Amino acid sequence: MSSKTISQDLFGDKRIGFFIYLFVEAVMFSTLFATYIIYTPPQTGPHPGELFEWKTIILASIFLLSSSGTLLLSEKGLNDRNMKLIMTEIGLTFLLGAAFMYFEIEEFRKFIMEGHVISTNNFLSSYYVLVGLHASHVTFGLGWMIVLFIQGRILPFNLFKEKHKIFNYYWHFVDVIWVIILLVVYAPYLL
């Protein structure tokens, strides 16, 4: 059996394992969405419409959803074996993801400074857990991009390409979760 066949089999198993992981993550997020829906709007305390601001949500969304576009350009670099394009687009994806995190942290900071903490009511508890878990996934993805950037410089191209593909699945999953957060958490209380 050739080393290329072994490598393909190994990454095929890793991809299957990663899809199982994403399925489990989807179940977990579904549970958190259901919890949020049950507890929103709250019986007491601030109403979501009083807390959420369009400006913050739109800017955060533009940055995060644009990062999927730069990641797609990076994938084009994979097809062309263009490491300069790949590294440039990973860097841009990282910067866009970091900008998204700035807005998420700023939103949390504002709510907490106003006294709207996780223990205020069930709505805020479910909000902080759901949106905070998504933010932790983005933060993990930012760390993963740093590792990818290093791996792109030291690994053989075929091995790096497989690692990049697995990361792509993760980042696009995180973006899909954000779109659902927009539709479930924010849009009903800002329209």
Model confidence at 70: pLDDT above 70: yes
Distance CA 153, CA 106 (A): 34
For the segment 101-156, what is each residue's pLDDT rounded down to a tens digit? Answer: 999 999 999 999 999 999 999 999 999 999 999 999 999 999 999 999 999 999 99
pLDDT in tens, 71-101: 999 999 998 999 999 999 999 999 999 999 9
Reported confidence tier of residue 185, pLDDT bands at 50, 70, 90: very high
Entry field: residues in the chain: 191
Instruction: Give yes or no for residue 4 having a pLDDT over 90.
Output: no
State the pLDDT at residue 13: 78
What is the pTM (predicted TM-score) of this model?
A: 0.92
**Alpha-carbon distance 101 to 140, whole Å?**
11
Mean pLDDT lowest among 8-12, 21-25, 170-174: 8-12
- Is the pLDDT score of 15 beyond 90? no
> Please, are residues 127 and 179 in contact by the beta-carbon 8 Å criterion?
no
Segment 17-23 long-range contacts (CB within 8 Å, at least 24 positions apart): 18/166, 18/169, 18/170, 19/169, 22/169, 22/170, 22/173
Please provide the average confidence, as pLDDT, over all residues in the chain.
Answer: 93
In angstroms and rounded to an integer, the radius of gyration of the C-alpha atoms of the chain is 19
Q: How remote is the C-alpha of 66 from its chain's centroid? A: 12
Per cent of the chain over pLDDT 90 is 90
Rounded (10°) CA dihedral 153, 154, 155, 160: -20
